[in-house]
Structure 1
Amino acid sequence: MSGHDVSATARVVVGVSGSLGSVTALRRAAALARRLGSALWPVLAWEPPGGDPAARRSPACGLPTEEWQRLAKQRLAAVLEEIFGVAGPGVPMRPVIVRGTPGPALVAIADREDDVLVVGAGRRGLQRAFSGRVSRHCLAHAGCPVLAVPPSPLESELLTVHRRNTWHLRMDIREL
């Protein structure tokens, strides 16, 4: 984090879930924020397992809301430390934890005309938190520019291996 006033500068808001797609988007967002001289706002949106309707029906089952909030904060901090280390991203940063569905939550936070919203344009696969529906929602509803970052080549390769394993297909190890 930085001692700069992150509320007064332009913002690059980025959805972070910990998936490969969101990590790729986070790296791209940090580079963009450095180029633009903007603040980086990494956002992790979370919902209770089963969503809010399930939590309202039986709040006693599972963890209390405060614990889910703490776990979300811990997850975001771990991703940020893994990607940026102690040096940070090189720009003012304000991590945000929000309870809600990722697409609407990101659009609500990136609510300024001069914001840039960065999302992973993930494909359906190993991690679905930032699958195509989140990026589609952001592209359709955001009032600011949206950068949809395609999956990294590594993510595509992992998805291919996952499909081969799912369908029990032989893999040519000469490709490795």
Structure 2
Amino acid sequence: MPQVVVGVGGGLGGLGVLHRAAVEARLRRVELCAVLAWQAPDGGPGSRTSCGAPVLALCRSAAAHRLREVLGTAFGAGAPDLTVTGLTVRGTAGAALVDVARDPDDLLVVGSGPRGPLRRLLRPSVARYVLAHAACPVLTVPPSPLQAEYEAVHRRNSWRLPLDARELA
């Protein structure tokens, strides 16, 4: 059965992507599946170190709690004209989204996000991965221009700590 699959992470830009996915699900009259990918602190299932079952259960529980928070923030008590399901998947975001959206009739919605050179180096692009590997159509949602304004104001108004400890005296 076709669905609209959207990745959620809880960031400010993610709410816009989630709402756009909800619009697409309503238009298509299909279920909205919100996916939150999580990884264990040990680096993954094939890692040499293992954090153990209790830590994995705690991470899974934290991811489920975060997903409930995000959906609660986005939709409140619920969207009466939309069926929303949440799914937590252990793994990287791109691989998790591609795995959930297997049907060619699905629609996968991801945010394109701001991609400066440093950010590209430190974090691979989920949108780029999804575009290269998805078996279904992909809708990329650009960041809101209001988000850039919000971040600029936040940077201007953030506290600046003195670099020299003598200035503290």
With the length of structure 2 as denominator, give the TM-score of the two structures: 0.80
Matched position secondary structure for 1:117? strand
Asked if structure 1 preserves the Cα contact closer than 8 Å seen for 2:42 and 2:49, the reply is no
- Specify the code of the residue in structure 2 equivalent to 1:99: R
Task: Determine which structure has more spread, i.e. the larger CA radius of gyration.
Answer: 2
Deviation, 1:25, is 0.8
- Give distance in 2, aligned partners of 1:21 and 1:11: 22
- Give distance in 2, aligned partners of 1:116 and 1:21: 19
Match of 2:142 among 150, 154, 164: 150
Asked if structure 1 preserves the Cα contact closer than 8 Å seen for 2:8 and 2:36, the reply is yes
Deviation, 1:158, is 3.0
Deviation, 1:155, is 1.7
- Give distance in 2, aligned partners of 1:97 and 1:72: 7
Percent identity (aligned): 48
Give 4+ residue runs of structure 1 displaced > 2 Å after superposition. Answer: 53-56, 87-90, 158-166
Cα RMSD after superposing both structures: 2.6
Q: Structure 1 146/165 Cα, relative in aligned 2: closer, same or farther at 3 Å?
A: same
Asked if structure 2 preserves the Cα contact closer than 8 Å seen for 1:120 and 1:148, the reply is yes
With the length of structure 1 as denominator, give the TM-score of the two structures: 0.77
Aligned residues: 154
Structure 2, unmatched stretches of 5+, are 161-169
Alignment of 1:56-75 (within 5 A): 56-59=48-51, 64-75=55-66
Structure 1, unmatched stretches of 5+, are 1-8, 169-176
